[in-house]
Amino acid sequence: MRVGVLTGGGDCPGLNAVIRAVVRKGVTVHGFEFVGYRDGWKGPLEGLTMPLGVEQCRGILPRGGTILGSSRTNPFKVDGGVERIKDNLAAAGVDALIAIGGEDTLGVATQLADLGVDVVGVPKTIDNDLSGTDFTFGFDTAVNIATDAIDRLHTTAESHHRVLVVEVMGRHAGWIALHAGIAGGASAVLIPEQPFDIDKVCALVEARFQTQYSPIIVVSEGAVPVDGGDMTLVSGEVDAFGHVRLGGIGDRLASEIEHRTGKEARAVVLGHVQRGGTPTAFDRWLATRFGLQAISAVAEGDFGTMMALRGTRIERVPLAEGTAQLKLVSPEEYAEAQVFFG
């Protein structure tokens, strides 16, 4: 059997660990051959391949990024895209595909599965917002990077009696902000699911200064104020899946806080640092187990499925279930963190 592998969407630490596990078990246990598709769905769409075998996977377990490259290509936005993919898979003798991606990449996989392509999905995203799985790999690494940054910002904020606003990734879901904010002892965590009241944020800032400590405010890039006003700078650029580019909430918030409280406030945008570099041990473990289960699903002909972490078990769920809706922070989970605000 020949199996194609692709990684799509924003990269995240652990992608290479999945590829390695898929290939190692595929070759040694099942005797499969592999085709590496370059740059997400662009690979099968344009027939862009690279050799993929045990040799290419040596030394990649701890490496961030993806040896296959990635893109946000949406074949359903390209005329005849699906037919081109089917033709290219047939021409390369590829019997099945493993797609490693987030909501968009796996959304395409879901539709292709319905159209008769034999595909298995592996969920990845630092945002951890895919339903069907308890965690996606990449998230733990991002949270650790953000927590380390918050720890460092505490000491410099204290020295200068400043407010420090830390902007983290999270377009629709505030998981990174929530986990890193709790782990880092933030004075407030602002997430997309719970619009924030700027007056209340300023009150938390004042309260924190009264205890002789400096406030750290952690904000997701997709957080919005309650009055509906837009504090997020949008470049106007839209990707093939219709997402605008976010960014700027941290700066806006810092200047608003400074203006309203008279306290000096600075913003730090963690940005792509959260996605780069070596994965944590947890992410390597999770990514490896997803890869092992994905190639077993291919061997068993269990297509149209997505790998999912349920408790400590790796299970298979229908792709459609994994991509039907985003997993968001519930009001109860947010309320737990609120105990520490101020």
Residues marked active site are found at 127
Asked if 329 touches ligand F6P (CB under 6 A), the answer is: no
Q: Which amino acid is at 323?
A: T
Q: Does 14 bind ligand F6P (CB under 6 A)?
A: no
Check residue 118 for interaction with ligand F6P (CB under 6 A).
no
**In the complex, what is the shortest distance from the CB of residue 223 to ligand F6P, in angstroms, rounded to a whole number?**
12
Cβ distance to ligand F6P smaller for residue 251 or 258: 251
**Span of 86-94, 165-173, 250-258, 328-336 interacting with ligand F6P by CB under 6 A:** 165-173
Q: Give the interface size with ligand F6P as a residue count (CB under 6 A).
A: 11
Q: Which residues partner with 34 through β-bridges?
A: 3, 52
Q: Does residue 69 interact with ligand F6P by CB under 6 A? A: no
Q: Does 166 bind ligand F6P (CB under 6 A)?
A: no
From candidates 127, 140, 167, 283, binder to ligand F6P by CB under 6 A: 127
Among 5, 7, 8, 10, binds ligand F6P (CB under 6 A): 10
Structure tokens at 147: 């927590």
Which of positions 174-233 make contact with ligand F6P (CB under 6 A)?
221
- Please spell the DSSP secondary structure of 62-79, one letter per residue: T--S-TT------GGGST
Among 124, 171, 179, 208, binds ligand F6P (CB under 6 A): 171
Residue 246 contacts ligand F6P per CB under 6 A: yes
Any residues with CB less than 8 A from the CB of 5 and at least 6 apart, and which?
A: 19, 22, 23, 34, 35, 36, 37, 52, 68, 97, 98, 100
Choose which of 17, 61, 89, 126 interacts with ligand F6P (CB under 6 A). Answer: 126
Would you say 102 or 123 has its CB closer to ligand F6P?
102
The answer to the question of residue 309 lying near ligand F6P (CB under 6 A) is no
Among 19, 22, 169, 268, binds ligand F6P (CB under 6 A): 169
Q: State the residue for tokens 């997701």.
A: 220
Q: Rule CB under 6 A: which of 77-96 touch ligand F6P?
A: none
Order of strands, sheet of 119-123, starting from the edge strand that comes earlier in the sequence: 49-52, 33-37, 2-7, 96-101, 119-123, 305-310, 313-318
Q: Which is nearer to ligand F6P, 171 or 284 (CB)?
A: 171
Residues 6 or more apart from 326 whose CB is under 8 A from it? 103, 129, 130, 131, 172, 173
SS3 assignment, position 97: strand
How is 134-203 classified by DSSP, letter by letter? S--BTHHHHHHHHHHHHHHHHHHHHHHT-EEEEEE--SS--HHHHHHHHHHT-SEEE-TTS-B-HHHHHH
Judged by CB under 6 A, does residue 102 bind ligand F6P? yes
Question: Which stretches of the chain bind ligand F6P, using CB under 6 A?
Answer: 9-10, 102, 125-127, 169-171, 221, 246
